[in-house]
Amino acid sequence: MNTKDEHVIYLHMPTSSPAVGQNVLFDQRIKFAKDFEKQFHDKGMDATVSTNGVQQRIVTISGKVVNEPSVYRLKDNVYTIQDLRKMGFKHLIMTDGKISWDIDLKN
| pLDDT tens column, 39-70 | 999 999 999 999 999 999 999 999 999 999 99
Give 15's pLDDT tier (boundaries 50, 70, 90): low
**If you count DSSP H runs as helices and E runs as strands, how many of each does the chain have, helices first?**
3, 5
Q: Exposed (0-12), middle (13-18) or buried (19+): which is 101, by Cβ within 10 Å?
A: buried
Among 56, 51, 46, which Cα is nearest to 34's?
51
**Pairwise CA distance, residues 10 & 37, whole Å:** 23
Q: What's the mean per-residue pLDDT of the chain?
A: 90
Stretch (H or E) spanning 61: strand 58-62
User: Is 67:95 a contact under the CB 8 Å cutoff?
Assistant: no
Q: For the chain, what percent of residues have pLDDT higher than 70?
A: 91
pLDDT surpassing 80 at residue 102: yes
Q: Where are the domains of the chain?
A: 7-104
Q: For the chain, what percent of residues have pLDDT higher than 90?
A: 76
pLDDT surpassing 70 at residue 1: no
Q: What's the mean pLDDT in 80-96?
A: 95
**pTM of the predicted model, to two decimals?**
0.86
